[in-house]
Each structure stands twice: as C-alpha cells, then as structure tokens.
Amino acid sequence: MKIVVNSCYGGFHVPQGFLALHPDADEWDIPRTDPDLIEYCESHPDELKFHCTDLRVIEFPDTATDWYVNEYDGAEDLIYVLDGKLEWA
C-alpha cells in the first residue's frame, strides 16, 4: 500500500497541478491513499516541494492491519500495525 505524507515542518497540501486536473476536488477531501494522487506524486517529483510542504510517497505492507499519520508541526511520519507490532516509516 502507498500513502502520501509531508516530510517537513509546515503542513500537508496537495500539489496545485493535481488539483488543476481534478477541479471538483477539495484538497482536504482527497485521501492520502488515493491512487490518482499517488500516481501524480510519483510522476511529478519536481512538484512535491513547495511552500512549507515536501511530499513523499511511502510504501508499506498491504498486510498492515491499521495505519496512522503522526504529525508534529506539519512534519509527518507513518505508523502502522504489522503482525500486532507498531512499525514506523
């Protein structure tokens, strides 16, 4: 499974180029696991760093039973459960 997170202090924002392709989408309603968002981020790496945002795509096991985006001042990490144990990515 893949997810998009922000790796710097500031906050998570969806790239404007992605929003331009999906004009009816609200930035705050797009799931971080949205396949179109992930594909866009992977194919447009030059658009992932902008005002207080540095997006990255993280891949974690499909067998993870739960996941959580841990945020501190806008910088995010992924925590997930695999085989009953917490893992960080």
Q: For 29-82, how does the pLDDT look when each residue is reduced to its tens digit (9 = 90+)?
A: 999 999 999 999 999 999 999 988 999 999 999 999 999 999 999 999 999 999
3-state secondary structure (DSSP) of residue 7: coil
Into how many domains does the chain fold?
A: 1
Cα dist from 50 to 6, 28, 36, 73, 87, whole Å:
11, 17, 20, 16, 28
Domain assignment of residue 14, given as a range: 2-88
Rounded Cα distance, 37 and 27, in Å: 11
